[in-house]
Amino acid sequence: MAGPLKGYRVLDMSRILAGPWAGQLLADLGAEVVKIERPNSGDDTRHWGPPYLKDQDGNDTEDAAYFFCANRGKKSVTVDITHSEGQEIIRQLALQSDVLIENYKVGGLAKYGLDYPALKKINPKLIYCSITGFGQTGPYANRPGYDFLIQGMGGLMSVTGEPDNLDNKAAGPVKVGVAVTDLFTGLYAANAIQGALLERHQSGQGQYIDLALLDVQAAVLANQASNYLIGGTVPQRLGNAHPNIVPYQAFATADSHIIVAVGNDQQFKRFCQVIEIPLMAKDPLYVTNANRVNNRQLLCETISLSLSQKDSRHWLAAFEANDVPCGPINSIDQVFDDPQIIAREMLINVIESRSGSLKMVGNPIKYSRTKIEYPASPPQLGGQTNDVLQDYLEYSECQLTELHTKGII
C-alpha cells in the first residue's frame, strides 16, 4: 500500500541537516520531495568530507557521505534564486506544492520575493516551514545558529560529560556525538507539517511554521528541565549516570564496559542477587530508588568493585537470564552487524548509479498496512532539473537551454 503522504508535494529549499532531515522523513512516508540546490555547489554537506561516496572503480565521487544521511528519496533541481528567472521557477513550483521547507536566515528569502507573505498570495494552501537558529522573533532572531552552538546555549552540554570532582577537576562539558538538536528540529518540523496538512483539510488554508533550534533544544531537555523547574535544582553533569534513577549507568567490567539500567525496586533485588550481594537490596540506604539516588556514590562504588571481578560476557548473560536490563556499548560497526538491527530492516541497500548500491540506515517507522519504501537514493546535484521543469512547469528544450547558458539552472 502506498505511503501515507503519497500525493503531497514538498519543495525542500533547506540545506545541512534539520530541514533535509524533515524532508527525507516526508519522502520516506510517500511525499514527492523536490530539493532545490545552488547550481555547481549544491547543499553544503555534499562537500563535508572525507569520506566521500566511491564509484564502482573505488574512486571518490564529488559527494560526501554526510549528504547521504538526510536526502534519500528526493529529486534535485538546481536553481539560482538571485536571478529573476530563478525566482519565477520557485514561484511556479510553490504554486504546485503543498509544503515548502526553508532554513535561510530571517528575512533571507523576502528580498527574492519568496517569503511566506509573497507565496501565500499565489498559493493560499501552502504550508511554509521556516527553520532558523533562534526563530523569527526575539533579540537573537538575526543570529546564525548551528547545532553545536545551540547544544551549548540550550543547556544540553551542561548535563553532558563527566562531572567535575577531586580526581577530575575540570572534565568539561561535551557535545553529543551526533547533531541531535538539528535532528530533533527536523522531527518537530515533520510533525508540525503533517499537523498543518491535517488542519488544512478543515480550514482549506495553509499556514506558516516558525521553528527555532534553540526552542527545540529547550523543549527536549525533558526531565532535566522538570528537575529544575519543579525541583528547583540545577542539573549537573553526571557522565553516564542518570539524575533520577540509580543504578542506571555504565560500569567497568574485567575486560570492557556494560550498561546497567535498573528501573524499579524489583529489578534492583534481582540485580543484587546476580552480583551476589542479596542483602544490599534490603539495606535501608538502598531499598527504594529515592534512597539509592541519595546514596548514589557509596552504592556505585560497591557495584563497580563487584562488576570488575568478571568479564562483560559473563555479566550480560547473567543479567539477561534474570531479567535485569543491561546491554553492551557497541561501536558503529557492531550496531549494523547486530541481528536485531538486521531483523528490523534498519540496514537497507538502495540502487545508486555511481556506486552500484548504497548502504543506508532504514526508517524506524513500522506501519501495519502502509509500507515505507525507498524508491530513490539521494540524488546527484541537479540530476532531475530538466525533468522537473519539463514535467511540472512545461518548460521547452529552448527555455532549458537558455537557462543553462545563463547559469540559472
Residues catalogued as catalytic: 182
Number of residues that this document lists for the chain: 409
User: Across the strands, what pairs with 251?
Assistant: 258
User: Distance between CA 36 and CA 43 in Å, rounded?
Assistant: 9
CA-closest candidate to residue 144, choices 155, 131, 157, 154: 131
How far is it, in rounded angstroms, from Cα 22 to Cα 71?
A: 9
Residue identified by cell 525533558 is 222
Return d(Cα 112, Cα 331) in angstroms, integer: 46
Dig out the grid coordinates for 169 from the structure: 577537576
Strand-pairing partners, residue 132, are 212
Cα gap 198→21, rounded to integer Å:
21
Hey, what long-range contacts does 406-409 have (CB within 8 A, 24 or more apart)? 406/83, 406/85, 407/39, 407/80, 408/39, 408/79, 408/80, 408/83, 408/85, 408/86, 408/89, 409/39, 409/77, 409/78, 409/79, 409/80, 409/86, 409/89, 409/382, 409/385
Whether cis (ω within 30° of 0) applies to the bond prior to 247 is: yes
What backbone phi and psi angles, to 5 degrees, belong to 78?
A: -95, 125
Q: Which residues contact 343 (CB under 8 A, 6 or more apart)?
A: none
Cell of 290: 529515592
Give dist(CA 180, CA 18) in Å, integer. 9
Instruction: Report the alpha-carbon distance of residue 258 to residue 248 in Å, rounded.
Output: 11
Distance CA 198, CA 207 (A): 12
